[in-house]
Amino acid sequence: MPCLNLFTNVRLEEVDTSTVLSETTKAISDIIGKPETPAAYGELVSIGGLNSDVNKKLSAGIADILENNMQIKHKNMLSVCMPCINNKSRLL
């Protein structure tokens, strides 16, 4: 399940993002050799409230929502729940 996160400073109002996404998805699929299967990768970060039991419940609940609304099978999902250990706010 490849996942590309792309950040750019290009103004997207003048770009056909649908074409960029479909061409990029096809290129990745062809090069890696994996089919274009609906998949999802999610990250949740929280200051407090996360632990092993909560993470399992969150992952299952989110997976159900994505499967019901986006037809993404549970086996094609990866979720990462990360607690913020340090409560100090910082700008990098």
Does CATH number 3.40.225.10 belong to domain 38-92? no
**60-87 mean pLDDT:** 86
Q: What mean pLDDT value characterizes the chain?
A: 86
Q: Give me the pLDDT at residue 45, please.
A: 86
Q: How many residues does this entry show for the chain?
A: 92
> Could you tell me which residues come within 8 angstroms of residue 84 by beta carbon, excluding any fewer than 6 positions away?
45, 46, 47, 48
**41-59 mean pLDDT:** 89
Find out whether 77 and 63 touch, Cβ atoms under 8 Å: yes
* Res. 71: pLDDT tops 70: yes
CA count, 13 A, side-chain hemisphere, 36 = 10
pLDDT single digits (tens) 14-41:
999 999 999 998 999 999 998 888 888 8
